[in-house]
Homo-oligomer: A and B are copies of this chain.
């Protein structure tokens, strides 16, 4: 199959692309290296990488016309939620407008399938937890989540009007090798540079379901293979949660830092930042009803990722 991957130098795509290539797909990837890293770009005879910005609709149409993908994995996004609160047009451009461009290019080039990485953040601070896929009202509290909700709505409208089949996955926190951001990435890099101090945003009680990236990709591929509505949408998570306090302690331990020698400074209040949803539990029954189960729990995913990221960033962050 001919597959176009956006955000191809990013965390999730850089784990996806080797899987696609292994099974024989022809893959093209796009990234502008805003968050993505050159070190994460795969080299393979069946993989063509294109450094371009998805805000350039004409360039994207030209690429689709030439490559003629049968399916798009649209994984490009700003994934740093707090960044979007400082720069209010960041998720609008890097999320909403980019997704419009992807859909419009698909419409013009007769590309009929899109797989999209959404987020459980679209539910805001829901009254029902674990939160099921049909929860309403959708009242996101971050500009990141607002953009994911906007992207979902664009996808469902394009699907209805232009015969595009879509799979929307609302992620928990995805972790694993090749991170570009996130709490484990940040803790490891900060402790590497200053092992005597760790400043934590919020009081450390924030707790979310962490999903290992291979489970995430298994789940997405399983969902795509198993569901055939015009619009298919799933929570993609695990049932347990891990707290930021646990992640801090496990990271310190994994880096071999003497706990007595380090000053861990917690912030005040349950949120890491404005727009952070402090407690997340996603109802996973729609995915498990399809027959899919994650291999790792949240705690196992976090511990495995800490080990890998400590190793990967031993000599500094990758560029």
* A interface residues (Cβ-Cβ under 8 A, vs B): 85, 88-89, 92, 96-97, 100, 103-104, 107, 122, 124, 133-143, 145-147, 149-150, 152-154, 156-158, 160-161, 231, 233, 274-275
Contacts and interface: CB of A to CB of B under 8 A. Distances in A.
Contact of A160 (B97, B154, B275): B275
Given A92-B100, A153-B138, A274 B85 contact: no
A286 to B, nearest CB: 11
B138 A157 contact: no
Nearest to A233: B137
A100 B89 CA distance: 8
Name the residue among A100, A146, A154 with the largest chain B CB count within 10 angstroms.
A146
Contacts of A122: 153
B160 A153 contact: no
Given A88-B107, A89-B100, A149-B149, A161 B138 contact: no
Nearest to A273: B161
Closest 4 CB pairs of A and B: A136-B136, A150-B150, A146-B153, A146-B157
A201 to B, nearest CB: 15
A106 to B, nearest CB: 11
Nearest to A88: B104
13 contacts: A88-B107, A88-B158, A92-B154, A96-B96, A96-B150, A124-B160, A134-B136, A134-B137, A135-B137, A136-B138, A141-B157, A149-B153, A157-B275
Number of copies: 2
A92 B103 CA distance: 12
B154 A153 contact: no
B154 A146 contact: yes
A135 B138 CA distance: 9
A156 B141 contact: yes
Nearest to A274: B161
A143 B157 contact: yes
A215 to B, nearest CB: 23
A231 B139 CA distance: 8
Contact of A156 (B88, B96, B146, B156): B146
A244 B275 CA distance: 44
A140 B157 contact: yes
A274 B135 CA distance: 26
Contact of A154 (B103, B104, B150, B156): B150
A238 B161 CA distance: 28
Given A88-B104, A161-B275, A138 B149 contact: yes
Contacts of A141: 156-157, 160-161
Nearest to A151: B150
Nearest to A141: B160
Contacts of A154: 92, 143, 146, 150
Given A135-B136, A150-B149, A274-B161, A156 B124 contact: yes
A275 B160 CA distance: 7
